[in-house]
Amino acid sequence: MDKCPPIVYTCAVTLDQKIAAKKARVGVMGLGYVGLPLSVAFARRGFRVTGIEVDARRAGQLRRGRSYIEDVPSADIQRLMREGFFEVRTDDAALGRLDVVVICVQTPLRKTKEPDISNILSACGRIARRLRKGGLVVLESTTYPGTTEEAVRPALEVGGLKAGRDFHLAFSPERVDPGNPRWNIENTPKVVGGINAASTRSAALLYSQVISRVVPVTSATAAELVKLLENTFRAVNIALVNELAQICDRLGLNVWEVVEAAATKPFGFMPFWPGPGIGGHCIPKDPQLLTWKMKTLNFEPRFITLASTVNGLMPVYTASRVARALNEDRKAVRDSRVLVLGVAYKPDVGDHRESPALDVMHLLAEDGARVSYYDPFVPEVRAAGRVWRRAALTDALIKAADIVVILTAHKAVDYQRVCLLARRVFDARNATAGLRGRIERL
């Protein structure tokens, strides 16, 4: 596995000793849904952490002790800053005194579905100018297999230091699940793969200080593929059950009943649930990263491509089902009052990145519907150049709607009240299971 001479032994010992004694200075570049919880986790365990955030507005909020991530309490930010374990900077001056730098920047797709690693390369360029000999750099941003070796490594080596000889380099995929009350950074197993054995060892030692179980793999590329497999697995199975929902519609069956019954089998089956599409920053994107990489190697991953197509068309199918329900009431989509409940991409969080609800709203609005929405966690959304602001979920609003469309099933919503007051409900999430009313389900 070692492709380079190992780092000079005294440097490796110094870094590992610093990590074990919690004397290593840790930097985290990018304080979003991944970087901020990770920074706080290290700071809670006694590491001195510098968070580097280029968004001045976000940095200002954190300096005032205000968290913008649901899973990170503002009180924790305030305490850790007060005790000197956490600081936030917008400049790179601190990079020169850090022993460890973890890159947690966004990796979006271009409109052409190609990966955009410009944020990663920008972070690497900033690190390279101040990189310390004997240090450790870890990439956590989700990306295509080979990024660490093919792009990150040369970008960090421009300053003259060589990865695997002068500093450690590894990849460790983030496994953050916003709003999950059971699994967090500390108790979710952490996969780590370095460019050589020494890099893997130091990165594993680092994460073992804050995470209960660390899983080393043989290379950074293997660790990159682990992440893509996890989310591609979900995307493919969601596509299967989304197609099953359409099959059940044509057969006059209840897809929720079918999946629930199948899930009683104690072996060989894992339930997945249909919906109006897939959302969030990872599941829609990650299969595309793998598809792009394989096409560069002259291989067409047909199964993954098909799953992405099925999931991508679910907002269109959902909007068509809403139109069909309105038609049964002798109403056209145009000028119908449509009330959407839930625009976040998953229940009980405010994260609406890539939410399929936004696509459904846009499609209905394009066809002339008067769309409003309520989401207890999202005060405002922007989609297709338009701004929607949250309406108050009053009895009058529910009664006035020609149809109420449930796109995200937040527990805070009283669906019994909605079903009793609404003229008609289309439920894409089975939030109304067991309730009475004029309800049609996906």
Q: Quick one: pLDDT at residue 62?
A: 97
**Rounded to whole angstroms, how far apart are CA atoms 39 and 185?**
10
Q: What percent of the chain has pLDDT over 90?
A: 90
Instruction: Work out the pLDDT band at 2, boundaries 50, 70, 90.
Output: very low
Q: Quick one: pLDDT at residue 10?
A: 40
Q: Quick one: pLDDT at residue 422?
A: 97
Beta strand pairing call for 386-389 and 380-383: antiparallel
Q: Quick one: pLDDT at residue 9?
A: 38
Nearest to 203 by CA among 140, 160, 253: 140
Distance of CA 375 to the CA centre of its chain: 19
Q: Quick one: pLDDT at residue 386?
A: 87
pLDDT tens by residue, 242-289: 999 999 999 999 999 999 999 999 999 999 999 999 998 888 999 999
**Rounded to whole angstroms, how far apart are CA atoms 201 and 199?**
5
Q: Which CATH class is domain 9-218?
A: alpha beta
Instruction: Work out the pLDDT band at 383, boundaries 50, 70, 90.
Output: confident
**Cβ-count burial 164-185 (b if 16+ within 10 Å, e if not):** bbbbbbbbbbbbbbbeeeeeeb
Q: Give the residue numbers annotated as catalytic, written as ranges.
A: 282
Query: Is the pLDDT assigned to residue 405 strictly greater than 70?
Result: yes
Strands (E), 134-279: 136-139, 168-171, 190-194, 214-216
**Rounded to whole angstroms, how far apart are CA atoms 296 and 286?**
16
Query: Is the pLDDT assigned to residue 227 strictly greater than 80?
Result: yes
Residue type for position 122 = S
109: which strand partners? Answer: 115
Q: Quick one: pLDDT at residue 242?
A: 98
CB neighbours (10 Å) of residue 361? 27
Q: Quick one: pLDDT at residue 210?
A: 96
pLDDT tens by residue, 304-313: 999 999 999 9
pLDDT tens by residue, 39-87: 999 999 999 999 999 999 999 999 999 999 988 999 999 999 999 999 9
**Rounded to whole angstroms, how far apart are CA atoms 51 and 89?**
6
**Rounded to whole angstroms, how far apart are CA atoms 145 and 123?**
19
**Rounded to whole angstroms, how far apart are CA atoms 375 and 9?**
56
Q: Which CATH class is domain 227-310?
A: mainly alpha
pLDDT tens by residue, 328-378: 999 999 999 999 999 999 999 998 989 999 999 999 999 999 999 999 999
Cα dist from 228 to 116, 284, 288, 350, whole Å: 16, 11, 9, 24
Pull the structure tokens for residue 319.
């909007």
Query: Is the pLDDT assigned to residue 1 strictly greater than 80?
Result: no
Tell me whether residue 412 is exposed, middle or buried, using C-beta atoms within 10 angstroms of its C-beta: 0 to 12, 13 to 18, 19 or more. Answer: exposed
Q: Quick one: pLDDT at residue 281?
A: 80
Q: Quick one: pLDDT at residue 11?
A: 43
Is 3.30.70.1230 the CATH number for 313-441?
Answer: no
Instruction: Work out the pLDDT band at 217, boundaries 50, 70, 90.
Output: very high
**Cβ-count burial 209-247 (b if 16+ within 10 Å, e if not):** bbbeebebbebbbebbbbbbebbbebbbebbebbbbbbe
Instruction: Work out the pLDDT band at 384, boundaries 50, 70, 90.
Output: confident
Mean pLDDT of the chain, nearest integer: 94
Residue 185 is classified by DSSP as T
Query: Is the pLDDT assigned to residue 12 strictly greater than 50?
Result: no
Domains of the chain, residue spans: 9-218, 227-310, 313-441
CB neighbours (10 Å) of residue 10? 9
Pull the structure tokens for residue 127.
């690190």
Pull the structure tokens for residue 263.
């899930």
Domain 9-218 identical in fold to domain 313-441: yes
Mean pLDDT of 394-415: 97
pLDDT tens by residue, 104-149: 999 999 888 899 999 999 999 999 999 999 999 999 999 999 999 9
